[in-house]
Structure 1
Amino acid sequence: MSEFPKTSRLMQRGCDFLGSQYAILCGAMSWVSERHLVAAISNGGGFGVIACGAMTPELLDAEIAATRTLTDKPFGVNLITMHPQLFDLIEVCRRHGVGHVVLAGGIPLRGSVEAIKDGSSPAKVICFAPTLALGKKLLRSGADALVIEGMEAGGHIGPVSTSVLAQEILPELAADHLIFVAGGIGRGEAIAGYLEMGAAGVQLGTRFACATESIAHPNFKKAFFRASARDAVASVQIDDRLPVIPVRALKNRGTEAFTRKQMEVAGVLDRNEIAMEEAQLQIEHYWAGSLKRAVIDGDIEHGSLMAGQSVGMVREEEPAAQILAGLMAQSEAALTLR
């Protein structure tokens, strides 16, 4: 019998889909969601997800293989739809028999969902849906599950809060489809609420960023421990010609540097020295390098400290399994009081 019977019952569809003990996914955080944290989360009962980010197919191949040496539990791979080698990365996942592929960063490219679900051992496809209309379209196009992520999340965000997205989408889709809720979730009481609304499970990133198994630099973790919710701010777009998806991170000199980077790229556009697509890629490359500077090198002044508004609930290092058990216990206690 489950230690958390009420929560487990509400999570059952999500657990069956993921193959995990708890329907709690770890949001894919570049440079953080690598083999050690992914394996620890899966071993602890959750569902770890490798953040492929800007990896080459060769690097992803090695990362999946290394993760397999650390866990025999299911885990997924998050692929960015704008990656120039997306289909090669899909082939790497297929070769390794990865059971779940998360497509993030935009609408899936034509043929990508079909490529993931093709072959003798097709993977399940999870997509991000920022609106109800797009969610319906993605499900018609072959997505097996959706993640609805509110603006409280860390990293790239949309304009609508988690609670509003949940109210718009769950009543419409959750009865017949698997919907995972993400963005600003830091405690089990919130998980219980979304499960009662029909969610199949949840996704958390920030809460796991400072797990004991996370390879993030001690300086990065200390910045999280000191931060409050209002320290995690969204970046500002300064030029209408240069669409920039807002990024939520702890405010520091790196935040100011991003504003200068946008001005620099806008100036190059003014002089017609690069195409719009290249300008947007320069912005994405800025974030990738800046995040590595913070997570790996520990430069918390100039690097990007991507964090969701739940960062105020991250107070100390804990093993991933302990974080998961704590969230489940909080959810169970909340449901017991209903």
Structure 2
Amino acid sequence: MSETLNARATLDRLWKPGCDFLGSEVAILGGAMSWVSERHLVSAISNAGGFGVIACGAMSPERLEEEIVATQAMTKRPFGVNLITMHPQLDRLVDVCLAHNISHIVLAGGVPNSATIRKVRDGGARAIGFAPALALGKRLVRMGIEALVIEGSEAGGHVGPVSLTVLAQEILPHIRDVPVFVAGGLGRGDAILSYLEQGAAGAQLGTLFAASEESIAHENFKKAFLRANARDAVTTVQLDELFPVIPVRGLSNEGGRNFARLQGEALRKFQSGELTKEEAQLSIEHYWAGALRRAVIDGDVETGSVMAGQSVGMVKEVRPVAEIIATLVEQAVDAIRQRETRIHAPS
């Protein structure tokens, strides 16, 4: 028993900077997933000792306000809001968050400008940003960002080209003046522990929570997660650099295969003069419109966008959020205890 208590104390010391920054019991953030990270899942994560984050996505200020108020009715613990920096009403969204005393605002989907960061901080909230490279991480810290998330290509949804394993080695040794949270492909507590020992302050997880009991995702969506292996979570393909496609990781399905065919057809029509370059690009960009909602809400997992990280292979059952978090903590504690046993074992 004392070994387990000592191991838990070690874990608590390792992620104390993250817990202190978030105001949570454990330094585990919920990844902001459109249509999924809403009042039910966000409040469940915070109530379980983690830190839930509302995915604002394309919400209007009025819709975001409604979601914040509903979430606050379901939890008295802190939670954050993820805002897309390219949103045309970003300033108003920040105002809504500040008016409702949101403690942390995550600025995602691009590089936030200094004015937005200053607005968040002057309003009394903490500003969190994403750093896909060391140089950008340092720049964001100079601009006033108070914490960073480094997300590897193993993650679900829109991803960059670099794995978390490499990003952690590139960034964690060099950014120590703000908390850095790791994300992408995380499905076990012992994996989280390995990054904490490298200097991370905590971890962000999405895929495990998307398939939780409290997630409002359709039963078909969750069943697709249960059937999937890591290799089934693939990124969308760009056929020609003439028409750039931001890679999105999700489960391989007919929708993804149709998207590849659509790109080929758009390229052919552009080359033949049937479409202008702008028309061809728009036809590609509009393909996925509403596709995530179709999968998450309507349960269309064949033609919809079933966004999932490579950790989907570790989703074996639909469980309550509190149980998921407790398991992650238990796995990390067990890993510490077993390591200490190995280190001190007689030769």
Contact (CA 8 Å) 2:39, 2:70: kept in 1 or not? yes
Aligned AA for 1:124? R
Quote the residue 2:115 is aligned against. 111
Q: Deviations over 1:124-169 (max 9, x none)?
A: 1111100000000011011000000001000011111111100111
Q: What SS does the aligned partner of 1:306 have?
A: coil
Do structure 1's residue 211 and structure 2's residue 212 form an aligned pair?
yes
Question: In structure 2, do the counterparts of structure 1 residues 317 and 133 end up closer, same or farther at CA, with 3 Å as the change threshold?
Answer: same
| Equivalence map 1:30-179=2 (5 Å) | 30-109=34-113, 111-119=115-123, 122-173=124-175, 175-179=176-180
Residue deviations 1:63-111 (CA, integer Å, cap 9, x gap): 0000000000000000111111111111111111111011111111452
Asked whether the equivalents of residues 265 and 279 of structure 1 are also in contact (C-alpha less than 8 Å), the reply is: no
Distance 2:308 2:115 in 1: 32
* 69 and 242 in structure 1: CA distance in 2 versus 1, 3 angstrom threshold: same
Shift of 1:261: 4.5
Unaligned ranges ≥5, structure 2 = 340-347
Give the counterpart letter for 2:169 in structure 1: Q
1:189-204 residue pairs with structure 2 within 5 A?
A: 189-204=190-205
- Give the CA deviation at 1:275: 8.2
Deviates most, 78-87 or 18-27: 78-87
For the residues of structure 2 that align with 1:13 and 1:262, how far apart are their CA atoms?
A: 46
RMSD: 2.1
Instruction: Name the amino acid aligned to 2:156.
Output: G
State how far apart, in whole Å, the 1-side matches of 2:189 and 2:140 are: 29
CA distance in 1 between counterparts of 2:115 and 2:301 reads 40
SS in structure 2 at match of 1:248: strand
- Deviation of 1:45 (Å): 0.4
* 2:14–2:197 contact (8 Å) kept in structure 1: yes
Letter in 1 for 2:209: F
The letter for the 2-side match of 1:246 is: P
1:109 and 1:261, CA in 2 relative to 1: closer, same or farther beyond 3 A? farther
CA contact (8 A) 2:114 2:143 kept: no
> Is the contact between residue 48 and residue 75 of structure 1 (CA under 8 Å) also seen in structure 2?
yes
- Are residues 288 and 102 of structure 1, via their aligned partners in 2, closer, same or farther at CA, if it must alter by over 3 Å? farther
1:319 equivalent to 2:320? Answer yes
Alignment-mate amino acid for residue 335 of structure 1: I
Partner of 1:305, secondary structure, is: coil
Structure 1 residues 115 and 241: alpha-carbon distance in aligned structure 2, compared to 1, 3 A threshold: farther
Give the aligned partner of residue 342 of structure 2. Answer: none
The one-letter amino acid paired with 2:174 is: E
In structure 1, the partner of 2:344 is none
Q: Percent identity?
A: 61
Q: Note the C-alpha offset of 1:210.
A: 0.8
Give the drift of 1:337: 2.1
Match of 1:258 in 2: 259
Q: Helix, strand or coil for the counterpart of 2:173?
A: helix
> What amino acid does structure 2 have at the position aligned with 1:70?
M
**Which letter does structure 1 place at the counterpart of 2:292?**
L
Shift of 1:3: 9.0
In structure 2, C-alpha distance between the alignment counterparts of 1:41 and 1:293, rounded to whole Å: 24
Aligned AA for 2:48?
G
Distance in 2 between residues matched to 1:9 and 1:304, nearest whole Å: 39
For residues 258 and 101 of structure 2, what CA distance do their matches in structure 1 show? 41
SS in 1 for 2:15: helix
* Contact in 1 for aligned 2:173/2:198 (Cα 8 Å): yes
Q: Normalised by the size of structure 1, how large is the TM-score?
A: 0.93
CA shift in 2, pair 1:235/1:114, >3 Å: same
Residue 118 of structure 1 deviates from its aligned partner by 2.1
Cα drift, residue 177 of structure 1? 2.0
Whether the 8 Å CA contact 2:7–2:334 is kept in 1: the answer is no
Partner SS for 2:49: coil
Following the alignment from structure 2 to structure 1, what is the Cα–Cα distance between the partners of residues 72 and 145? Answer: 25
- Looking at structure 1, the residues matched to 244 and 330 of structure 2 have their Cα atoms a distance apart, in angstroms, of 42
Q: Bigger radius of gyration, 1 or 2?
A: 2
* 1:325 alignment partner AA: A
Runs of 4+ in 1 over 6 A off after TM superposition: none
Report the CA distance shift for 1:287/1:103 in structure 2 as closer, same or farther (over 3 A). Answer: farther
Query: In structure 1, what is the Cα distance between the partners aligned to 2:181 and 2:33?
Result: 17
Q: Answer whether contact 1:220 1:305 (CA < 8 A) is retained.
A: yes
Rounded Cα–Cα distance in structure 1 between residues aligned with 2:11 and 2:170: 23
Structure 1 residue 263: Cα displacement: 4.8
* Deviation string, structure 1 residues 33-82 (Cα, Å, up to 9, x no partner): 00000000000000000001111111101000000000000000001111
Q: State the one-letter code of the partner of 2:102.
A: V
Amino acid at match of 2:147: A
Structure 1 contact 6–336 (Cα < 8 Å) conserved: no
Contact conserved, 2:7 with 2:336, CA < 8 A, in 1? Answer: no
Q: How many residues align?
A: 332
